[in-house]
Amino acid sequence: MQRRTRAFTGLFLTAPLLAFLLLAYVLPFLGVVRWSVTLPEPGFSQYRKLATDPLALAVLIRTLRICALVTIAATAAAYAIAYVWVRGTPLQRRLAELCILIPFWISVLTRAFGWLALLSNRGLVNTWLQGLGVLAEPLTLVRNEFGVVVGMTHFLIPFAVFPIASAMQAIDGRVLLAARGLGAARLRIFWRIFVPMTLSGIVGAALIVFVFALGFFVTPAILGGGHSVMVAELVYLHMFQSPDWGLGAAISVALVLVVGLLMGLLFRFARPAGLRASR
């Protein structure tokens, strides 16, 4: 009797969101999958094209290269600032928190625009360098791959900070004191004890950054300026500029498969807090 009430309550309360997402998300996604095998003609021709077309392959390789660079840069930078956020003096911690949270809450558009303001031909960096007489001609810092990597790293650092900081918080300070008591030097404690103990946070952060970077659209579109097209922008181009919906859909399906694989890895290393909480 009680079991049945409980099951009924669970069903009744969870049904609205489940039904909503089923109708508004899963079914339309199946529609996209159908596009990928029916447009322009039935069959897997779009997937074959995706695997053999030199342009699509070039975009794929560029995407992986950019994602790898961004993952390394953002995870390393996040580690440095998370360290001060978790272990600094109260003032240092407050300053680090502001430096992480202010960019985190500001929209991706504003942040990409900030990099344009800084790096474009008439931006701050070029104006200063030319004013100092260091440069005769402005350096091309955006509308290329460099700009995309910088902008994406900037966007993703806060997302990498959270898993790393929670791994650092979980460390028992007495372990570090014990190491010190046994005569280990500062650097040795950091590299041999502290970093290995936060490995799960590092792996989690790197996977989150990589997954987010893979399907990124806004920052590459603005800072790449069409010269450094990534997978997501390729989908956009196939939807709106030179319509080939079948190919766009095929790329989307392939992206979902890759992300699914990576998320499987993530769950092996670090379970997101939300899921752990539901247990």
Partner 1 sequence: MSANRPGAAALATAAVVAAFLLLPLLAVVPISFTPARFLTMPKGSWSLIHYRELIANPDWGRSVLLSLRIGVVSSLIATVLATLFALGIWMARPRLSALLVGFVLLPMIVPPIVSAMTLYFLLTGLSQLTGLVGYDTWLGVVLAHVVMIAPFAVVLILVALAGVDRRIDLAARGFGATVTQRALRVILPNIRFGVLMAGLLAFVLSWEEIGVTLFITSVNAITLPRLMWMGVHDNIDPAIAAVSVVLIALTTIALVGRMMLHRTQA
- 8-27: contacts with partner 1 (CB under 8 A): 9-18, 20-21, 24-27
Looking at 66, 152, 221, 229, which residue binds partner 1 (CB under 8 A)? Answer: 221
Q: If residue 180 lies in a helix (H) or strand (E), which one and from where to where?
A: helix 173-181
Looking at 38, 47, 97, 138, which residue binds partner 1 (CB under 8 A)? Answer: 97
State yes or no: residue 28 binds partner 1 (CB under 8 A).
yes
**Listed ranges 52-60, 63-71, 162-170, 172-180: which one lies at the site for partner 1 (CB under 8 A):** 172-180
State yes or no: residue 99 binds partner 1 (CB under 8 A).
yes
Q: Which of residues 108-167 bind partner 1 (CB under 8 A)?
A: 108-118, 120, 122-124, 127, 154, 157-158
Looking at 1, 31, 91, 196, which residue binds partner 1 (CB under 8 A)? Answer: 31
In whole angstroms, give the CA distance from residue 152 to residue 211: 12
Closest distance to partner 1 from the beta carbon of 88 (Å) = 6
Q: If residue 121 lies in a helix (H) or strand (E), which one and from where to where?
A: none
Q: Which of residues 66-85 bind partner 1 (CB under 8 A)?
A: 77-78, 80-81, 83-84
Closest distance to partner 1 from the beta carbon of 23 (Å) = 9
Preceding peptide of 40 cis, ω within 30°: yes
Report how many residues bind partner 1 under the rule CB under 8 A: 100
In whole angstroms, give the CA distance from residue 156 to residue 209: 6
State yes or no: residue 4 binds partner 1 (CB under 8 A).
no
DSSP per-residue letters across 189-223: IIIIIIHHHTHHHHHHHHHHHHHHHHT--HHHHHH
Closest distance to partner 1 from the beta carbon of 74 (Å) = 10
The Cβ-side half-sphere exposure at 194, using a 13 Å CA radius, reads 22
In whole angstroms, give the CA distance from residue 219 to residue 238: 18
DSSP state of 120: S
